[in-house]
Amino acid sequence: MPEVSILKSRRDFVSAAKVGDKFVSGSLVLQVRARPDTSGPRVGFTATRKIGGAVQRNRAKRRMRALARDCLLPNAEPSCDYVLLARHNTGKISWQQLVSDCQNLLSRHRRKTN
């Protein structure tokens, strides 16, 4: 698995939203931005207050971190930034459905780039 770093600066999140591609499923939104360097993939997570209170947002972010580790990073391109955005049911949906949605988003991204 490639070395991964976490996106933390607002500039990186805004750049992924403006310049990158956006893929939407029922439980997740994936924003992907290609970078010129090949230092490894970077991943960021966002859960807004629309999701719910702090408990719901934290649960959604925990699930997205696990999803990135298990599903996203083994298939990640080394020169991309990936931002996972939680939707209203990210914290409630079954794990199998969440993994399926993530794999679907990644396949859509691969089809668009090839």
Per-residue pLDDT at 2: 53
Question: CA torsion, points 67, 69, 74, 78, in degrees to nearest 10?
Answer: 110
Digit-coded pLDDT (tens) for 52-92: 999 999 999 999 999 999 999 888 888 899 999 999 999 99
Per-residue pLDDT at 62: 96
Angle between helix 95-113 and 54-67 (nearest 10): 60
Count of domains for the chain: 1
Integer distance in angstroms from the first to the last C-alpha of the chain?
Answer: 22
What is the span of the domain harbouring residue 29? Answer: 5-113
Per-residue pLDDT at 38: 72
Give the pair of three-digit tokens for residue 110. Answer: 């691969």
Digit-coded pLDDT (tens) for 7-49: 999 999 999 999 999 999 999 999 999 988 878 899 999 999 9
Judged against a pLDDT cut of 60, whether residue 1 lies above it is answered with: no
DSSP code of residue 92: T
Per-residue pLDDT at 36: 86
Q: What is the CATH number of the domain that holds 57?
A: 3.30.230.10
**Of residues 11, 73, 87, 10, the one with CA closest to residue 42:** 73
